[in-house]
Amino acid sequence: MSDAIEDPASDARTADSRRLAGFGLTALAGLLIGIGSLLPWIRSSLEGLPDASSPTYYGIDLPDGVIALVAAAVVLVGLAITQLTTSTPARKTAAGAVIAASIFAIAVAGAAVVTATSRFEPTAVDDVLAELDPAGGATQEQREQAEELIVIRLAPAPFAVIGGGLVGVAGGVLLLSWANRVREQPDSVDGARQGPA
């Protein structure tokens, strides 16, 4: 009979564990996504030219990185709301926003990783030619030569954003579970108090 009665203290410990784990993971996710969006995403090089002549593209230079930075802000704001509000619906909505923003960050960075060469090669060629000839007098032949010699490489930052997104999903799920647990906890406490009577 006593096994059927839930232990309020155990429920509270479980909820606190989920809250702490969710908080830590979500904070780490916001940090990874935010920092990743500010670091280099794409590096280019042109055979025979010094690296200084080859452009490097940071996250905030690209629409992808700007979107990732916004996602990081949503993750951190959502985390703050879950900790500052006492409203269960608000906590659940904020946790859902954390999960959605994390998934969006994964999608954006993943697309950048998959399409890096095809997307950024023309831009890199334009920038290299502009660096070599600021007057814009490059011929079609020179452009074709640059296209053959240029190499596009991914920097680690998009992978940091993807990792942060995965961590954010895990943190958001824990926060959502904690919000549901907190909502249910008072009922189970009342039931435990009424049980012996």
More confident residue, 130 or 91: 91
Q: How many angstroms separate the CA atoms of 153 and 131, rounded? A: 19
pLDDT > 90? residue 169: yes
Using CA atoms, how far residue 42 sits from 12, 35, 58, 72, in Å, is 47, 15, 7, 20
**pTM of the complete model:** 0.76
End-to-end CA distance of the chain: 13
Q: What is the pLDDT of residue 11?
A: 63
For the chain, what are the domain ranges? 11-187
Q: How confident is the model at residue 152 (pLDDT cuts 50, 70, 90)?
A: confident
CATH topology of domain 11-187: Butyryl-CoA Dehydrogenase, subunit A; domain 3 (1.20.140)
Q: What is the pLDDT of residue 109?
A: 95
Phi, psi at residue 130, to the nearest 5°? Answer: -65, -35
Q: What is the pLDDT of residue 165?
A: 97
pLDDT digits (tens, 9 = 90+) for 26-56: 999 999 999 999 999 988 777 655 555 567 8
Q: How confident is the model at residue 116 (pLDDT cuts 50, 70, 90)?
A: confident
Q: Is 29:162 a contact under the CB 8 Å cutoff? A: no
pLDDT > 50? residue 196: no
Q: What is the pLDDT of residue 150?
A: 77
Percent of the chain's residues with pLDDT above 90: 47
Phi, psi at residue 5, to the nearest 5°? Answer: -85, 125
Phi, psi at residue 149, to the nearest 5°? Answer: -95, -20
Question: Once rounded to an integer, what is the mean pLDDT over residues 84-97?
Answer: 94
Q: What is the pLDDT of residue 135?
A: 66
pLDDT > 90? residue 128: no
